[in-house]
């Protein structure tokens, strides 16, 4: 007699399935939705225990929609914090108690909460933050701009970057799975460009909503849940910073190295659940390469098409799906034939160009061009990217910008 498989359900009555089945094998149907709605659909299938929110444009709608899931019974605990700093502190408390947690923020909210992100990493909680990037500069702007990502690079969190609503949906689900691996167990920040993705509608392929990820098991965590007598809880109760001795210094240093080592250990998991740390588009042998992420990758792909169809110039786009861990070997392999590398960005400082230069130093002879850059809510039409390439290769610019 064949042994039947045990069927398990979560608190919402959804059938528990494996991450691989949910992400790769379950049948999908096409839906038309915004990025914020894609967040809701991902959380609906993620067996989330707790979410804390605070309104700030453009992530307010996503936070509101997660609240609707709480009303519907898909999220265990949901409440509004008193500030962005309060939200990130309160969500940490939920995670330290052994809950699967998600929250959202944007721009100034990120900056106001900044102290919490290294604390998340240091306490090794697998919280997920959906960051809908927006301007943080003065004069005030609520428009798309990803300068804030540069401030998060060294917080000890994994950082993934979604190009579109489909990426965002899949990355949220994969983010929980990877962050909660016992040999990883650090926060994951899933970034998407505000407004360009959060508020525009596009086709998203969704699995059925009657299946969900397995619930988080805090007893698989590398640290005890909310134990004030052992690390990392002991460090919070009786901080080593108060002790001026060699043990204190060594403890701090070694723990910071361990957090960053955990990010490196996430590579094989992220590679599996994201189907690679990078995505390539265009001519594999092209010597003009765009290295980019997020919405800029979508625009670079269209520029790639224009250059080939109208100018006969073959190019390639290398989209980075993860920024932390940075896909070092994948990038080096992808640009091995490059003579020119363009890095289009939605910020004025060129933080991605700096990362590309850092990891290609002495590994590529290509000339790296940190252009085009737009910020403060400006769009990046593909013609702007085309113009930069044509100027650089000495061809006539025929496109009207």
Whether the Cβ atoms of residue 311 and residue 398 lie closer than 8 Å to each other: no
Residue 255 domain flag: no
For residue 41, is it within any domain? Answer: yes
Among 195, 220, 245, which residue terminates a domain?
220
Write down the pLDDT at residue 250.
76
Residues 286 and 187 grouped into a single domain: no
- pTM, two decimal places: 0.95
Is the per-residue pLDDT at 173 higher than 60?
Answer: yes
Mean pLDDT of the residues in the chain: 92
What Rg value do the Cα atoms of the chain yield, rounded? 22
- The answer on 199 and 59 residing in a single domain is yes
Q: How distant, in Å, are the alpha carbons of 80, 151, 248 from that of 127?
A: 17, 18, 27
Q: Which domain holds residue 375?
A: 280-393
Per-residue pLDDT at 397:
77
Backbone φ and ψ of 276, nearest 5°: 105, 150
Specify whether 29 is located in the same domain as 133.
Answer: yes
Last residue in a domain, options 176, 198, 220: 220
User: Would 254 be classed as within a structural domain?
Assistant: no
| Averaged pLDDT for residues 356-368 | 97
pLDDT digits (tens, 9 = 90+) for 282-291: 999 999 999 9
In whole angstroms, give the CA distance from residue 121 to residue 179. Answer: 11
* % of residues, the chain, pLDDT over 70: 93
239-270 pLDDT, tens per residue?
A: 655 666 666 777 777 888 999 999 999 999 99
For residues 133 and 163, the answer to whether their CB atoms sit within 8 Å is: no
What is the reported pLDDT for 229?
67
The arithmetic mean of pLDDT across residues 38-42, rounded, is 98
Instruction: Based on the fold, state whether residues 123 and 216 are members of the same structural domain.
Output: yes
pLDDT digits (tens, 9 = 90+) for 180-216: 999 999 999 999 999 999 999 999 999 999 999 999 9
CATH number at residue 152: 3.40.50.970
Beta strands in 11-66 (DSSP E): 15-16, 29-34, 50-53
**C-alpha to C-alpha distances, 343 to 307, 346, 389, nearest whole angstrom:** 16, 10, 11
Same domain, 164 and 295: no
More confident residue, 140 or 267: 267
pLDDT interval class at 138 (50, 70, 90): confident
Domain match, 204 and 312 both: no
142 and 287 within one domain? no
Same domain, 74 and 179: yes
Residue 1 domain-assigned (yes or no):
no
Find, among 171, 159, 95, the residue nearest to 133 by Cα: 159
Position 393 confidence tier, pLDDT thresholds 50, 70, 90? confident
Q: What is the mean pLDDT of residues 60-84?
A: 96
Q: Which of 220, 236, 253 is the last residue of a domain?
A: 220
8 belongs to a structural domain:
no
Residue 359's pLDDT band (cuts 50, 70, 90): very high
Residues 202 and 331 in one domain: no
Domains held by the chain: number: 2
Q: Per-residue DSSP letters for 233-249?
A: HHHHHS-GGG--SHHHH
Same domain membership, residue 66 and residue 210: yes
Mean pLDDT, to the nearest integer, of 136-145?
A: 83
* Residue 41 and residue 68 in contact, taking contact as beta carbons nearer than 8 Å: no
**Domain membership flag for residue 256:** no
Inside any domain, residue 273: no
In a domain? residue 247: no
225 has pLDDT over 80:
no
Q: What pLDDT shows up at residue 6?
A: 87
| 327: confidence class by pLDDT, cuts 50, 70, 90 | very high
CATH number at residue 332: 3.40.50.920
Does the pLDDT value for residue 3 go beyond 60?
Answer: no
| Measured distance CA(114)–CA(155) in Å, rounded | 9
Q: Point out the least confidently predicted range of 248-262, 274-288, 324-338.
A: 248-262
CB 28 within 8 A of CB 206: yes
Same-domain status, 75 and 202: yes
Check whether residue 57 and residue 198 sit in a common domain. Answer: yes
């Amino acid at each position: 007699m064949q042994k039947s498989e045990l069927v398990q359900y979560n608190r919402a009555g959804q059938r528990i399935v494996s991450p691989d089945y949910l992400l790769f094998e379950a049948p999908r149907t096409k839906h038309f939705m915004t990025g914020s709605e894609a967040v809701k659909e991902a959380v609906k299938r993620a067996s989330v225990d707790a979410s804390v929110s605070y309104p700030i444009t453009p992530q307010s709608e996503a936070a509101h929609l997660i609240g609707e899931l709480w009303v519907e019974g898909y999220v265990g605990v949901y409440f509004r914090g008193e500030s962005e700093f309060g939200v990130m502190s309160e969500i940490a408390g939920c995670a330290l108690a052994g809950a699967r947690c998600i929250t959202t923020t944007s721009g100034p909210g990120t900056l106001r909460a900044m102290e919490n992100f290294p604390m998340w990493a240091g306490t090794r909680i697998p919280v997920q933050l959906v960051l809908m990037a927006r301007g943080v500069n003065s004069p005030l702007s609520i428009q798309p701009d990803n300068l804030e990502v540069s401030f998060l690079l060294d917080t000890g969190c994994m950082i993934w970057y979604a190009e579109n609503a489909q990426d965002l949906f899949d990355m949220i689900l994969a983010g929980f799975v990877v962050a909660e691996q016992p040999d990883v167990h650090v926060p994951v920040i899933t970034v998407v460009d505000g407004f360009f993705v959060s508020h525009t509608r596009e086709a998203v392929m969704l699995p059925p909503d009657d299946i969900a990820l397995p619930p988080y098991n805090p007893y698989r965590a590398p640290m005890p849940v909310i134990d004030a007598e052992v690390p990392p809880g002991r460090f919070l109760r009786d901080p080593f910073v108060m002790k001026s001795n060699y043990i204190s210094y060594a403890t701090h240093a070694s723990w910071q190295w361990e957090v960053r080592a955990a990010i490196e250990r996430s590579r094989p998991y992220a590679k599996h659940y994201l189907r690679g740390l990078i995505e390539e588009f265009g001519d594999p042998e092209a010597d003009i390469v765009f290295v980019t992420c997020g919405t800029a990758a979508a625009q670079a792909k269209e520029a790639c098409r224009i250059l080939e169809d109208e100018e006969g110039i073959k190019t390639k786009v290398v989209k980075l799906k993860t920024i932390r861990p940075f896909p070092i070997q994948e990038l080096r392999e992808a640009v091995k034939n490059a003579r020119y590398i363009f890095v289009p960005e939605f910020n004025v400082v060129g933080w991605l160009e700096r990362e590309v230069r850092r990891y290609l130093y002495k590994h590529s002879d290509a000339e790296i061009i940190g252009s085009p850059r737009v910020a403060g809510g400006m769009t990046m039409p593909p013609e702007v990217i085309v113009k930069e390439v044509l100027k650089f290769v000495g061809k006539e610019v025929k496109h009207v910008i």
